[in-house]
Amino acid sequence: MNWIPVCPLPDLLPERGACALIGDEQVAVFRAHDGSLYAIGNQDPFSGAYILSRGIVGTRNGEPTVASPMHKQVFSLTSGVCLDEPGTVIPTFPIRVTMGMVEVSVK
Amino acid sequence: MTRVLIVGNGPSAHRLAETLTTRGFAGSVTILGEEPRGAYDRVALTSYLTEDRDLAYPEIPGVAVLVDTRVVSIEPAAKTVNGTIPYDVLVLATGSAPFVPPVPGRELDGCHVYRTIDDLDAIRASAKTATAGVVVGGGLLGLEAADALRGLGLKTHIVEMSPWLMPRQVDEGGGAVLKKHVESLGLTVHTSSGVTRIEGDDRVTGLLTPDRGVIDAQIVVFSAGIRPRDELARGAGLQVGERGGIVVDDGMRTSDPSIFAIGECALHDGQIYGLVAPCMTMAEVAADRIMGGAAAFTGADLSTKLKLLGVEVAQFGAMAGALDVTYLDPVAGVYKKLFVSDDASTLLGGICVGDAAPYATLRSFVGSELPAAPSDLLFSPTAVELPGDAPVCSCNNVTKNDVTAAIKEHDLTDVAGVKACTRAGTTCGSCLPLLKKILTESGVDTGSGLCEHFAHSRAELFTIVQVRGITTFTQLIDEHGTGRGCDICKPVVASILASLHNGHVLEGEQAALQDTNDHFLANLQKNGTYSIVPRIPGGEITPEKLIVIGEVARDFGLYTKITGGQRIDLFGARVEELPRIWRRLVDAGFESGHAYGKALRTVKSCVGSTWCRYGVQDSVTLAIDLELRYRGLRSPHKLKSGVSGCARECAEARSKDFGVIATEKGWNLYVGGNGGFTPRHADLLVQDVDTATLIRTIDRFLMFYIRTADRLQRTAAWLENLEGGLDRLREIVMDDALGICADLDAQMAAHIATYADEWRATLDDPVKLRRFVSFVNAPGTPDPSITFTTERDQIKPEILQVTSR
Ligand code: SRM
Ligand SMILES: Cc1cc2nc3c(=O)[nH]c(=O)nc-3n(C[C@H](O)[C@H](O)[C@H](O)COP(=O)(O)OP(=O)(O)OC[C@H]3O[C@@H](n4cnc5c(N)ncnc54)[C@H](O)[C@@H]3O)c2cc1C
Ligand code: SF4
Ligand code: FES
């Protein structure tokens, strides 16, 4: 797997996402309140805009989520499934911390 | 044992075989299909090209399917097909074929139709050596084909014989709006145009039109209508319609009692159905009859709602009527029309382009009495209560009563549950908003709890935060809630914390609570850029400041517009540009206008007694004083105000949350006004008061509202729900009936004393500024997905491609 460094972990504020540009891919990265990390595609499939990193992070029935800032559809951070319209799934990417650096892998 | 033989392996054949099997049919089922593959979802055909989707239907256990097997003859007397294969019951599900008009050159290399996976493979292969394509036919399927050509990177033209696109679904006005949408995607539309000839020797080089010369293209796709495939039936002497189609009765039986016909090849009551939902119903009826039942097909609703090329188009009921009501917004590209009977009492049908919101509700009312004034129905259709027998989901034949019964019986709490129990909403999805509405009507989710994380109402949370002195979301949710919050409760708590403590909304943990717009202290636009609205108190502005706004807009290339709130909005700024833009504005003396916040917006004013020959008080000075007093005040919803210099009311104060109108003796204060979704004129709270009393009363009114209102409840709705109404409000804020006025006054005094401009504070704080980037790992890089075109000399966002759903 090819890990790409994104930012130092402290730059990722709890429950406030950030977006990384990796090649052509826009990856939204999140750090949950409990410290776990998630990476999903930044494009909102409903509006087409690249904005999911700017959504409100929270939980639904215990599952970590982000709500699209455009029209508020809620996505699971673990599976990328849209919990309001389960037919819609956005990509998820592996994410980890190495030596204090957040890293993601896109293919 | 009965042997059922099905000819054709499309969606209708598949549904028939599936229904027979799941209902335990005892005989054998065999399908003969000429395509080289098993049945697949033709409705989703385009996604095979654009997303490489696998469209194959699941195999049905126990059903024998022969692919690559074309049936060429039926021998009804011997009960065989192709001379050898025997049947007891034969079902024709041969569908239809695209109609190719007899124009010269139509057999050239590069000419295609759009019906099967093979057709699409052929188009893809041709496209490799092509740069431009023409679709002949601008109906539903033609537009889909055009979208596919565009997706293959071709410059795409559409040639349509009628004067407008999709003539079967929309009328002329809707067609014009649709055309604008389609053209904005870069497609070229030629309406009222025919085809004289396809040019080329072996391969297509162009298409000659009668009056527009030659359109250069290497691909031509014909999508000029469909013809039922009734050739087998004709050969076998079955009765067929004058213009094609195999004649069937209500049980889907043809003129030979052993032979049925279903789907797009069947002609029922003089009608061919070119949509998949009726085909499915026919398949189910035929299955029932084959098994000895008495099900009947009695026609079908041809209403359609679809999203083509990113545009919503919907049509239901009749496409004409004695009277019609039309709403047209050519700028937004929205067209909505309702047809009603001549006494304006019965809904006959309707057309929507660009916004299909009314479709789901109104479709159920076709043929019945209008539940509200037609113009209201066009705008707020969901406010209407549906009758119990109204069909809610026409794809799956589910009524409102079915849904309510299922909710009760299974204690359903969400749309997903309703879908699972009733099948409603599982096909085209256009009824989903209705399902939501019925859930609420059925009393689901009636608790005053905010969301799954808090069982308290907003007012209760406000009291908890105030009394317990809570200052963080984490403390509040740990001690009074569950989980980690969501997009509903987090902004509410952010607003309460801001109303009570007035710290910076992006400070510490609060930053993660803020709604979309507060997140970057600007309003999110459809393409991910932001708009900027500096405060212009009372609408008064010096020429110098106007020039600064102009310069900033010019230097950053922003779209500039005067708002309805007497100020100026600058659109199209990227996240990373916001601090640089605000640096210039703040240096010139501007402040945040909170256009993004649930907070005070504007206090509009008229010119008042200073200039106006009718004015009796100085409305501008009062408006500016009020705007500066309440700026930055966070509230359950936005707050708007206006001050007029006399009863002529040029500032429209009575449509505001709090409005002031000058009198000879002082000021009249009106509260609870609203424009917006449900307009309401404000009510007179106090009359002829002096400025000090006026301001004290507004202070208390606002603070009392902030303390007690629900989430996203404007003052108008709040006042209407307030027990005791306007009189009680007057007792509370004028006579201190609750003994809380000192508290309210102190709270407002604290707000005013601690106000600081959010943007200036942000610019002074490098930590906050660091978040204003598109990419954490490339802070200077702009988001490449954001692009603009120009319109009337200003920028305009380019429409974003919506991805696979
Ligand atoms: C810019 C402006 C339109 C314009 O070009 O003139 C506008 C634009 C928006 N309005 Fe408005 N409204 C604007 C004046 C109005 C007015 C007229 C007025 O204020 O005199 C009204 C009716 C009066 C009223 O509010 O009662 C108005 C009623 C609404 C509503 C409906 C509120 C309601 O109670 O039903 C919304 C939706 C909401 O807030 O939930 C809304 C929401 C919006 C939003 C915030 C939608 C959104 O979330 O993106 C738009 C954001 C614009 C942006 O990105 O900057 N806007 N909006 C006006 C800005 C005024 C300003 O300077 O701040
Ligand atoms: C691109 C596209 C998009 C569409 N979008 C929508 C939509 O959004 N909504 C909607 O409601 N409808 C839509 N439709 C229409 C929908 O696909 C049809 O209503 C549906 O496919 C009809 O099913 P059917 O089984 O009756 O016929 P068909 O799907 O045409 O299947 C008939 C099958 O029989 C085979 N066949 C014919 N004759 C013989 C023979 N003699 N021997 C052997 N096999 C034979 C054919 O090759 C074909 O495979 C769309 C159609 C297309 C082409
Ligand atoms: S409201 Fe009265 S004072 Fe104000 S501009 Fe209109 S007429 Fe003049
Ligand atoms: S109307 Fe199509 S799924 Fe309900």
Q: In this predicted model, what pLDDT tens digit does every residue of B27-55 receive, in sequence order?
A: 999 999 999 999 999 988 888 887 788 88
Task: Please give the structure tokens belonging to residue B203.
Answer: 């391969």
Mean pLDDT of B415-434: 75
Residues 6+ apart with CB under 8 A from B227: B96, B97, B98, B99, B244
User: B322 pLDDT exceeds 80?
Assistant: no
Asked if residues B660 and B641 have their Cβ atoms less than 8 Å apart, the reply is yes
A43 touches chain B (CB under 8 A): yes
Would the ipTM clear 0.90, i.e. be above it? Answer: no
Local confidence band at B154 (pLDDT 50, 70, 90 cut-offs): very high
Size of interface A-B (CB pairs under 8 A): 122
Rounded to the nearest whole angstrom, what is the distance from the C-alpha of residue B531 to the centroid of ligand 1? Answer: 13
Of A14-28, B453-467, B619-633, B753-767, which range is least confident? B453-467
Does residue A10 or residue B627 have the better pLDDT? B627
Q: How far is CA B568 from the centre of its chain?
A: 28
Interface of B with A (CB under 8 A): 416, 452-453, 474, 483-487, 489-491, 509, 511-516, 519-520, 524, 526-528, 770-771, 774-778, 781, 783-785, 799-805
User: B415 pLDDT exceeds 50?
Assistant: yes
pLDDT at B722: 87
DSSP H stretches of helix in B185-237: 231-235
Mean pLDDT of B234-245: 94
Share of chain B above pLDDT 90, in %: 59
Between chains, do A62 and B483 touch, taking CB under 8 Å as contact?
yes
Does residue B447 or residue B70 have the better pLDDT? B70
Closest-CA residue, ligand 3 atom 2, reads B646
CB distance B395 to ligand 4 below 6 Å: yes
Mean pLDDT of A43-72: 93
pLDDT at B446: 44
Residues 6+ apart with CB under 8 A from A84: A73, A74
Q: Give the number of whichever ligand sits closest to the CA of residue B55.
A: 2
- Measured CA angle at A24 (ends A20, A25), to 5 deg: 50
Top mutation candidate among B540, B614, B619, B670 for ligand 3, by most atoms within 8 Å of CB: B614
Closest-CA residue, ligand 4 atom 2, reads B428
Between chains, do A13 and B804 touch, taking CB under 8 Å as contact?
no
Q: Atom of ligand 4 at shortest distance to CA of B432? A: 4
Mean pLDDT of B462-482: 87
Residue closest to B574 by CA, chosen among B772, B771, B761: B772
> Long-range pairs for B317-324 at CB < 8 Å and ≥24 separation?
B317/B347, B317/B348, B317/B349, B317/B350, B317/B363, B317/B366, B317/B367, B318/B348, B318/B349, B318/B366, B319/B171, B319/B349, B319/B351, B320/B171, B320/B348, B320/B349, B321/B348, B321/B349
The parent domain of residue A39 ranges over 3-105
Q: Which residue of B has its CA nearest to A31?
A: B512
Task: Please give the structure tokens belonging to residue B86.
Answer: 């025997």
- Hey, which of B5-14, B737-746, B758-767 has the most confident mean pLDDT? B5-14
Mean pLDDT of B393-411: 84
Q: Count how many domains chain A has.
A: 1
Extended beta strands in B533-584, E state: 559-562, 568-573
B479 — phi, psi (to 5°)?
-95, -20
CA dihedral B596, B599, B600, B602 (to 10 degrees): 20
The answer for A 4-23 residues in CB contact with B (under 8 A) is 5-7, 11-16, 18-22
Top mutation candidate among B264, B302, B307 for ligand 2, by most atoms within 8 Å of CB: B264
Domains, in order of start, for chain B: 3-96+228-290 (3.50.50.60), 100-224 (3.50.50.60), 458-514 (no CATH), 523-754 (3.30.413.10)
Residues 6+ apart with CB under 8 A from B242: none
A55 interaction partners in chain B (CB closer than 8 Å) = 487, 516
**How far A38 CA lies from chain B's nearest CA (Å)?**
15
Asked if residues A18 and B576 have their Cβ atoms less than 8 Å apart, the reply is no
Mean pLDDT score across all residues of chain B? 90
Q: Which residue of B has its CA nearest to A9?
A: B776
Task: Please give the structure tokens belonging to residue A102.
Answer: 């957040």
Of B219-223, B394-398, B473-477, B568-572, which range is least confident? B394-398
Q: Give the number of whichever ligand sits closest to the CA of residue B651.
A: 3
Local confidence band at B445 (pLDDT 50, 70, 90 cut-offs): low
C-alpha B324/C-alpha B326 separation (Å) is 6
For B110-151, the pLDDT digits (tens) are 999 999 999 999 999 999 999 999 999 998 889 989 989 998
For B324-383, the pLDDT digits (tens) are 888 887 777 888 888 888 887 888 888 888 887 778 778 878 887 877 777 777 765 555
C-alpha B50/C-alpha B535 separation (Å) is 46
C-alpha A82/C-alpha A74 separation (Å) is 6
Binning chain B into helix, strand and coil, the percentages to the nearest 5 are 35, 20, 45
The 10 Å Cβ neighbour count of residue B512 is: 23
Of B14-23, B132-141, B513-522, which range is least confident? B513-522
Residue closest to B158 by CA, chosen among B661, B439, B448, B150: B150
For residue A75, list its beta bridge partners. A66, A82
B492 — phi, psi (to 5°)?
-65, -50
What 3-state class would DSSP assign to B655?
helix
Between chains, do B527 and A49 touch, taking CB under 8 Å as contact?
yes
Mean pLDDT of B185-190: 90
Residue closest to B221 by CA, chosen among B321, B130, B314, B113: B113
Between chains, do A59 and B519 touch, taking CB under 8 Å as contact?
no
Closest-CA residue, ligand 1 atom 5, reads B563
- Measured CA angle at B139 (ends B134, B142), to 5 deg: 35
> Long-range pairs for B225-228 at CB < 8 Å and ≥24 separation?
B225/B98, B225/B99, B225/B137, B225/B139, B226/B96, B226/B97, B226/B98, B226/B99, B226/B264, B226/B274, B227/B96, B227/B97, B227/B98, B227/B99, B228/B94, B228/B95, B228/B96, B228/B264, B228/B265, B228/B266, B228/B267, B228/B272
Rounded to the nearest whole angstrom, what is the distance from the C-alpha of residue B619 to the centroid of ligand 3? Answer: 9
Helices B458-468, B489-501: axis angle to 10 degrees equals: 40
Mean pLDDT of B789-795: 93
pLDDT at B430: 65
C-alpha B351/C-alpha B359 separation (Å) is 8
CATH number of domain containing A66: 2.102.10.10
Task: Please give the structure tokens belonging to residue B307.
Answer: 């999203």
First-to-last CA distance in chain B? 44
Closest-CA residue, ligand 4 atom 1, reads B393
The 10 Å Cβ neighbour count of residue B308 is: 20
Between chains, do A48 and B802 touch, taking CB under 8 Å as contact?
yes
C-alpha B229/C-alpha B223 separation (Å) is 16
CB distance B569 to ligand 1 below 6 Å: yes
Q: Atom of ligand 4 at shortest distance to CA of B426? A: 3
Rounded to the nearest whole angstrom, what is the distance from the C-alpha of residue B567 to the centroid of ligand 3? Answer: 19
Chain B interface, mutation test: which of A12, A33, A36, A56, most B Cβ atoms within 10 Å? A56
Residues 6+ apart with CB under 8 A from B419: B425, B426, B435
Pairing of strands B197-200, B204-209: antiparallel
Please, what's the b/e burial string for B148-182 (b: 16 or more CB within 10 A of its CB; e: otherwise)?
Answer: bbbebebbbbbbbbbebbbbebbbebbbbbbbbbb
Q: What is the pTM of this model?
A: 0.56
DSSP string covering B167-185: TTT--HHHHHHHHHHHHHT
Q: How far is CA B625 from the centre of its chain?
A: 40
C-alpha B114/C-alpha B241 separation (Å) is 25
A100 touches chain B (CB under 8 A): no
pLDDT at B804: 47
A28 touches chain B (CB under 8 A): no
Rg, chain B, Cα only: 32
Between chains, do A74 and B783 touch, taking CB under 8 Å as contact?
no
Q: Give the number of whichever ligand sits closest to the CA of residue B231.
A: 2
B775 interaction partners in chain A (CB closer than 8 Å) = 19-21, 26
Top mutation candidate among B9, B18, B81, B94 for ligand 2, by most atoms within 8 Å of CB: B94
Rounded to the nearest whole angstrom, what is the distance from the C-alpha of residue B548 to the centroid of ligand 4? Answer: 53
Does residue B496 or residue B366 have the better pLDDT? B496
Chain A interface, mutation test: which of B486, B513, B521, B773, most A Cβ atoms within 10 Å? B486
A16 interaction partners in chain B (CB closer than 8 Å) = 511-512, 771
- Measured CA angle at B144 (ends B141, B150), to 5 deg: 145
Mean pLDDT of B468-486: 88
Rounded to the nearest whole angstrom, what is the distance from the C-alpha of residue B258 to the centroid of ligand 4? Answer: 33
Residue closest to A67 by CA, chosen among B711, B484, B461, B508: B484
pLDDT at B507: 84
Of B409-418, B489-498, B580-589, B697-706, which range is least confident? B409-418
* Per-residue CA distances from B701 to B222, B360, B725 (Å): 66, 40, 13
How does DSSP classify residue B271? B
